[in-house]
Amino acid sequence: MNEEKAFLEVNNLSVEYVTKEETVYAVNDVSFRLEKGKVLGLVGETGAGKTTIARTILRVLQEPPAKLRSGSVIMEGKNLLELSEDEMCLVRGKQITMIFQDPMTSLNPVMSIGKQIAEVIGLHSKIPSNEVRSRAEEMLEIVGIPAERYDEYPHQFSGGMKQRVVIAIALACQPELLLADEPTTALDVTIQAQVLELMQKLNKENNTTTILITHDLGVVAEMCDEVAIVYAGEIVESGTLEDIFEKPSHPYTIGLFGAMPKLNEDVEWLSPIEGLPPDPTSLLEGCSFYPRCPRAGETCKENKINLVKVSPSHMCRCCLPVGEEEQ
Amino acid sequence: MTNVKKKSQLVEVVKRISYNKGAVFGGILFLAVVLLAIFAPLIAPYDYMKVNIPNRCLAPCREFLLGTDYMGRDMFSRVLYGARYSLLIGVGSVLFSAVFGVIIGAAAGYFGGWLDGLVMRLCDVIQSIPGMILNIALACVLGPGVFNTILALGFQGIAGTARLMRSSILNVRKMEYLDAARTSNCSSFRIIVRHVFPNTFAPILVQSTMGVGARIMAAAGMSYIGIGVQPPTPEWGAMLADSRDFIMKYPHMCLIPGVCIMIVVLALNLFGDGLRDALDPKLKK
Amino acid sequence: MAKYIGKRILLMIPVIIGVVILVFTLMQLTPGDPAEVILGSRATDAQINALRAEMGLNDPYIVQLGRYMGDVFLRFDFGTSYISNVSISTELAQRFPKTLIFAVSGMVLSLLIGIPLGVNAAIHQNSLVDYGSMTLALIGTSLPGFWFSLVLILVFSGKLGWLPAYGIGGIKYWILPIVSTAFAGITTMARQMRSGMLEVIHSDYITMAKAKGVKKQSVIYRHALPNALIPVVTVASMSFGTALGGTLIAETIFAIPGVGVYIVNAVSNRDYPVVQGGVILLAVAFSFIMLLCDLLIAAIDPRVKAQITGGKKRSKKK
């Protein structure tokens, strides 16, 4: 990441989920920067904390049990975490919008899809009320749904089409920052391709800055300019798309690439990463990847690992990063 | 292997209930009532049936802890024995509903066809008659008394449990059709037993626990209007019926049995709520 | 939609027929001889036999059932009372409105008071308001309704003398009966509403609404509440049924001349045709209310509506 003033800056973000029985350390001191118009891929396993990061930026966490421990989210000079709820309501849906993971449950079942799009338009744009509907219909057409279906209800649409409605809602007010939380995970592969294509097109047209959360490296390769790998609530590696795909340095990242089945190789067994995902209720003293790391040493176990600069744009949280020779 | 799993599940459930202070309080309270009922002969200071006209309608005092009724009988002793009847009727009728409901629902779900249709139509008919009203019709046929009250209350509950059981079995059968190759009557039965019972056990248990409280109240109501347990049996509802003419002058005769009913039902509701929350898979995070 | 209403009414008919058959059969199983009840204990055997023949009591079960069903469905004739020789249908027609007022007001109060109470508790989950109203609600569901009536009579009529204890007349006479029987319905509704609301509030589409920048107030009332109300309609119809059942006791306590007390008195008099007619009438009333509630759900829940209209507007593109 370069030294210019970034569009979005997340600094030392830490979020926990506190219940009577236990505390889940979901996000641990996460920092990253994003320039305007770029697409950042947040990659990691389920439960790594990616969704929590996104929801914290938009401030749609369930406040109990979620608890913001520390950190700031600066967008164009303002710390979003310090805005009042009313001010935040003006930001949500207009400057920052979100696409949720499961299209089957993201839409209100008793409201027509057209109305759900119109709602966000009516809230944030200064269009006179009689034009809101036609603007909503426009959005429907843009995402490939016939405008005649404005009055239909979510259950009348397939998963892929529901997700298109969600995209229409997210992009209706031309947001500056789009948070897409695994937008295609719940869809068939063929529909995935269509939805991603649509997102890419709209992104380019509006120069929307995007954070794309996914666990699919294929999607990352397709869509992202920059990548951050998330593990146990921390960013363990970050860089440009080329940095990560051509010179992955963190053992976990390498493990992820290794676990992917490749079309051009003929192997008998898939090679998963050994071990299980970490327990978010008990953080380790040292490196969180220590139990599963094939290269782990004594220093890894005891000390907190800091980010190491592999190249100007490429950071890695490892004291024994995989060097060029070994790749 | 499954025994170990079941045991740790049980421990888990008990732990979760213990977090819920209301449920723990309810459980202990209910246990206390059960113990009082069981040891009534040892605790009761007087013979609960003994008529004692000179001492009638006394308010609570040192000699008679909860006062006496219009026949001079000690209220405290009567209330203690009354607990036996209420508990017997409540638990008995719930067991009756559960046993027959499970059998009928399982048969309907398993055999399907005309049996299923018949059972469902019967359930529809029975459930379209409000509870107390069906009770009164049954009471005409059966007559008053403890056992008949259990039968009447138990009969109504069969429909609810049967539906629960039936839908569980139908769910499992739906899954079975995906495994067409493995279907043979023998394995079907075993699959049903292995999958259905653990899944249905929780809802039926919760339904039953809440049901005991509702039945105790219904039984009291039935006794009050003369179709349940009759005086001089010290069932709490019957005691309320006795107090009818004396409410204004001697309110204790009306208040005490009612408070007793309330305590037991409250305890059951508290515990039932806690049980339902503890068994709810969704709440496991 | 009209097709659905028609279909639903058609489905109700076999249930009502079933109820008539069930109740009739139950009354056939009652001990004792109707002719004896009518003529009294001093009647001679000859008189009893003559009356039995006249009433058709010696005919086979099916014939008697058919005769009764014909009377009920074709002429709304529930027969005559064994005791008073009055037409049961006439009595029922006179008494039914009072019972209906009771049950309907119970249901209406449970909606008007129970829903806001539950919504409020859900919005302020785990606060004092929540604990307070839910404790009250818990006590309410543990309170035997008829005992609560007695207590209210004791307090408001006996000790304070504000309201009459029984009888009918102006509104004054209805306050205690309605309040005491509605209390259980209100509390049940409050608890149901609270848990329904909590479930909805944690749904994805509510987070989505928040993410659109919808203000909290609107999220609750425009997004959460309409969804949470759908299952409540079913609860309301159930509470009507409970209220109907409760009228049996409440009318006895408050001396209100409705169908409930008519049935209760008939039981002790072994006047079984009255019990038969009363039970059938109340069951039919309950079925109607359940029908109305089903129709209401179909009207407000587009998913149910779609199932019914056969999904006419199904998408062509997938």
In this predicted model, what pLDDT tens digit does every residue of A75-88 receive, in sequence order? 888 888 888 888 88
- Interchain proximity A166–C205, CB inside 8 Å: no
**CA–CA dist A53, A13 (Å, integer):** 8
Nearest CA in chain C to B218: C144
Per DSSP bridges, beta strands A234-240 and A314-316 are antiparallel
The confidence score (pLDDT) of residue B5 equals 59
Q: Which phi and psi angles does C198 have, rounded to 5°? A: -60, -40
**CA–CA dist C14, B117 (Å, integer):** 13
Percentage of chain A exceeding pLDDT 70: 95
Give all chains having 3 or more CB-to-CB distances under 8 Å with chain C.
A, B
H/E stretch holding A222 reads helix A217-223
In a domain, A263, yes or no: yes
**CA–CA dist B283, B277 (Å, integer):** 7
The confidence score (pLDDT) of residue B181 equals 44
The confidence score (pLDDT) of residue B1 equals 44
Amino acid at A209: T
In a domain, B12, yes or no: no
User: What angle separates helix B131-142 from helix C272-300, to the nearest 10 degrees?
Assistant: 160
Asked if residue C187 lies in contact with residue C140, where contact means CB atoms within 8 angstroms, the answer is: yes
The mean pLDDT value for A109-114 works out to 92
Nearest CA in chain C to B246: C154
Alpha carbon of C170: minimum distance to chain A alpha carbons (Å): 43
The confidence score (pLDDT) of residue B152 equals 92
Alpha carbon of C144: minimum distance to chain B alpha carbons (Å): 6
Q: Out of C142, C246, C249, whose CB is closest to B265?
A: C142
pTM of the predicted protein model: 0.83
- B45 pLDDT higher than 60: yes
Strands (E), chain A: 8-18, 23-34, 39-43, 66-75, 78-79, 96-99, 177-181, 209-214, 226-231, 234-240, 308-311, 314-316
- C140 pLDDT higher than 80: yes
- In this prediction, residue B284 has a pLDDT band, given cuts at 50, 70 and 90, of very low
Q: Is B10 exposed, middle or buried (0-12, 13-18, 19+ CB in 10 A)?
A: exposed
The per-residue pLDDT for range A13-52, each reduced to its tens digit, is: 999 988 877 888 888 889 988 988 899 999 988 777 889 9
Helices (H), chain C: 2-28, 34-39, 45-55, 61-75, 88-109, 115-123, 128-142, 145-152, 172-201, 204-211, 216-218, 225-254, 259-268, 272-300, 302-308
- B65 pLDDT higher than 70: yes
Chain C within 8 Å of A91 (Cβ-Cβ)? yes
In a domain, A240, yes or no: no
Q: Which residue range is the domain that position B145 belongs to? A: 18-280
- In this prediction, residue B219 has a pLDDT band, given cuts at 50, 70 and 90, of very high
Give all chains having 3 or more CB-to-CB distances under 8 Å with chain A.
C
Q: Which phi and psi angles does A79 have, rounded to 5°? A: -85, 110
- C132 pLDDT higher than 50: yes
The confidence score (pLDDT) of residue B3 equals 55
Alpha carbon of B213: minimum distance to chain C alpha carbons (Å): 8
The confidence score (pLDDT) of residue C238 equals 87
The confidence score (pLDDT) of residue A211 equals 93
In a domain, A156, yes or no: no
- Interchain proximity A98–C204, CB inside 8 Å: no
Chain C within 8 Å of A124 (Cβ-Cβ)? yes
Chain C within 8 Å of B283 (Cβ-Cβ)? no
Q: What's the number of domains chain A is made of? A: 1
The confidence score (pLDDT) of residue B187 equals 57
Q: Which residue range is the domain that position A306 belongs to? A: 247-327
- In this prediction, residue C211 has a pLDDT band, given cuts at 50, 70 and 90, of very high
Give all chains having 3 or more CB-to-CB distances under 8 Å with chain B.
C
Residues in contact with A91: Cβ distance below 8 Å, sequence separation at least 6, in sequence order: A80, A83, C213
CA distances from C43 to A186, C47, C52, C56, C73 (A): 81, 6, 13, 18, 34
Amino acid at B70: Y
The confidence score (pLDDT) of residue C314 equals 41
- B283 pLDDT higher than 70: no
**CA–CA dist C3, B118 (Å, integer):** 26
The confidence score (pLDDT) of residue B90 equals 92
Chain A within 8 Å of C283 (Cβ-Cβ)? no
Per DSSP bridges, beta strands A23-34 and A8-18 are antiparallel
In a domain, B11, yes or no: no
The per-residue pLDDT for range C239-274, each reduced to its tens digit, is: 888 889 888 888 988 888 999 999 999 988 888 889
Asked if residue C192 lies in contact with residue C115, where contact means CB atoms within 8 angstroms, the answer is: no
- C38 pLDDT higher than 80: no
The per-residue pLDDT for range B223-276, each reduced to its tens digit, is: 998 888 888 888 999 989 888 888 888 888 889 999 999 999 999 999 988 888
**CA–CA dist B2, A307 (Å, integer):** 47
The per-residue pLDDT for range B97-138, each reduced to its tens digit, is: 999 998 898 888 888 788 888 999 999 999 999 988 998 999
Find the angle CA(C71)-CA(C75)-CA(C77) to the nearest 5 degrees: 60
In a domain, A86, yes or no: no
The confidence score (pLDDT) of residue C283 equals 93
The confidence score (pLDDT) of residue B192 equals 65
Which of 308-327 (A) contact C at CB < 8 A? none
**CA–CA dist C64, C55 (Å, integer):** 10
Strands (E), chain B: none
- In this prediction, residue B7 has a pLDDT band, given cuts at 50, 70 and 90, of low
Chain C within 8 Å of B281 (Cβ-Cβ)? no
In a domain, A204, yes or no: no
Half-sphere exposure of C291 (CA within 13 A, CB side): 18
In a domain, A281, yes or no: yes
Most confident of A277-286, B194-203, C216-225: C216-225
Chain A within 8 Å of C307 (Cβ-Cβ)? no
In a domain, B214, yes or no: yes
Pick the residue of A57, A88, A92, A110 with the most C CBs within 10 A to test the interface with C by mutation: A110
The mean pLDDT value for A189-206 works out to 84
- In this prediction, residue B4 has a pLDDT band, given cuts at 50, 70 and 90, of low
The confidence score (pLDDT) of residue B285 equals 36
- Interchain proximity B224–C286, CB inside 8 Å: no
Provide the 10 A C-beta neighbour count for residue C79: 18
The per-residue pLDDT for range A119-170, each reduced to its tens digit, is: 999 999 888 888 899 999 998 988 889 999 999 999 999 888 899 999 999 9
The CATH number that applies at residue B137 is: 1.10.3720.10
pLDDT top residue among C58 and B141: B141
In a domain, A225, yes or no: no
Asked if residue B269 lies in contact with residue B210, where contact means CB atoms within 8 angstroms, the answer is: yes
- B2 pLDDT higher than 60: no
- Interchain proximity C213–A106, CB inside 8 Å: no
Contacts of C214 in chain A (CB under 8 A): 89, 93, 119, 123
- Interchain proximity B134–C279, CB inside 8 Å: yes
Q: For residue C46, what are its two tokens?
A: 């000859």
Q: Out of A92, A149, A156, whose CB is closest to C211?
A: A92
In a domain, B5, yes or no: no
**CA–CA dist B207, B101 (Å, integer):** 12
In a domain, B211, yes or no: yes
Percentage of chain B exceeding pLDDT 70: 88
In a domain, A39, yes or no: no
The confidence score (pLDDT) of residue C66 equals 87
In a domain, B94, yes or no: yes
Q: What's the number of domains chain B is made of? A: 1
- A282 pLDDT higher than 90: no
Q: Which phi and psi angles does A97 have, rounded to 5°? A: -130, 165
Which of 202-241 (B) contact C at CB < 8 A? 213, 217, 220-221, 224-227, 240
The confidence score (pLDDT) of residue B247 equals 82
